[in-house]
Structure 1
Amino acid sequence: MEQSMKVQIVPMNGDHLDEVAELERVCFPDPWSRNMLKEELGNDLAAFLVALDGQGAVAGYAGLQVVLDEGYILNVAVRPDCRRQGVAGQLLQVFLDFAKGNQLAFLTLEVRASNYPAIALYGSRGFRGVGRRKNYYEHPKEDAVIMTLDLTGEEETDE
């Protein structure tokens, strides 16, 4: 059973950039640079959140881009020592609440085919695998599973 870590979720700002860039380096073989992250802070279509631990350090972060009524989850990363403690789920829940509150049609994301914990987390929140992107990831080369959460209430498709 996953133990829940108490975190404070806040919008990412310039003060978080060094820690988030380090988290990218630890978590991903092709990390976003500090500069790329900084540029996203000025992107009106994107929202980045950080989960702060009890000492105010970044335990995890996530990004969402919204285009019209579509939400694209860009990145979700959690410090290795904070994993399996509900941090990613708490970040994801903020995006789910936002999507529902703003009547987005869906949320979608790509995840490494071998990232079973992430696939299980997204599946537990209603995301379903809808396709694959062949060799989407490098280092190592791997397919991405495209997962989508439909928020339209499928029974309302009689237009």
Structure 2
Amino acid sequence: MNQLANVRKMTADDLEAVHRIECSSFPNPWTKEAFMHELFENQYAHYFVIEMEEEIVGYCGLWVVFDDAQITNIAVLPTYRGQKLGETLLSYVMRFAKECEASQMTLEVRVSNLVAQALYKKLGFKEIGIRKNYYSDNQEDALLMWVNLHE
């Protein structure tokens, strides 16, 4: 784990920072309203931020439904990438999902995002399928990945 990083639950006060990260990371970013819905209306949603020196530099969201966890989104500010913050954040979220009694976790990643795929494989995720034309900005396929949280 990155010793200078702190992971904690996301709050409404984090919305501006998280939305900035979202907009800097994705061609079709979620709206602030979508994050508010996740935080306050979706009983299955859990969101976390990672801070460096009290600055929010990344976030991750997941849904836990019974024994199944699904990563909804994960991103780190471009200037902080390559410092293992994504790994620290995702490892934390995986432990949280296990504590919620999830036995497996899934996520989708662009087939072109080899850096993210390498991280997911490092943490035990395996490729299990393709979602054709998944991304609306360019109809790129998504690679569906899965991990058994009890291995």
The superposition leaves residues 59-116 of structure 1 with CA deviations (integer Å, 9 ceiling, x where unpaired) of 0000010111100011000000000101111111112212333332200000000000
Structure 2 CA distance for aligned equivalents of residues 135 and 74 of structure 1: 17
- Gap runs ≥5 in structure 1: 154-159
Aligned residue for 1:51?
50
User: TM-score, length-normalised on structure 2?
Assistant: 0.93
Matches of 2:60 and 2:150, distance apart in 1: 23
Within 5 Å, which residues of 2 pair with 1:79-118?
A: 79-118=77-116
Give 2:4's aligned residue: 6
Match of 1:30 in 2: 28
Cα distance, 1:5 vs structure 2: 6.8
Q: TM-score, normalised by structure 1?
A: 0.89
Residue aligned with 2:133, SS: strand
What is the RMSD of the two structures over their aligned residues, measured on CA atoms? Answer: 1.6
**What letter corresponds to residue 99 of structure 1 in structure 2?**
A
Gaps of 5+ in 2: none
Aligned-pair distance for 1:22?
Answer: 1.3
One-letter amino acid matched to 1:45: Y
Larger Rg belongs to: 1
Could you tell me whether the CA contact under 8 Å between 1:5 and 1:85 is conserved in 2?
A: no
Task: Classify the secondary structure of the residue corresponding to 2:146.
Answer: strand
Q: Distance in 2 between matches of 1:79 and 1:15?
A: 18
Q: Which residue of 2 aligns with 1:157?
A: none
Match for 1:126: what amino acid? Answer: G
Aligned partner of 1:156 in structure 2 is none
Paired with 1:105 and 1:63, the residues of 2 have a C-alpha distance of 17
Q: Is the 8 A contact 1:137 1:144 kept in 2?
A: yes
Q: What is the aligned length?
A: 150
Partner secondary structure for residue 118 of structure 1:
helix
2:15 aligned residue: 17
Alignment-derived partner of residue 60 in structure 1: 58
User: Does the 8 Å contact 1:65/1:72 carry over to 2?
Assistant: yes
Map Cα deviations across residues 35-82 of structure 1 (whole Å, 9 max, x no partner): 11111111221110001111x221000001011110001100000000
Residue 126 of structure 1 aligns to a residue in which SS?
A: coil
CA spacing shift, 1:108–1:49, aligned 2, 3 Å: same
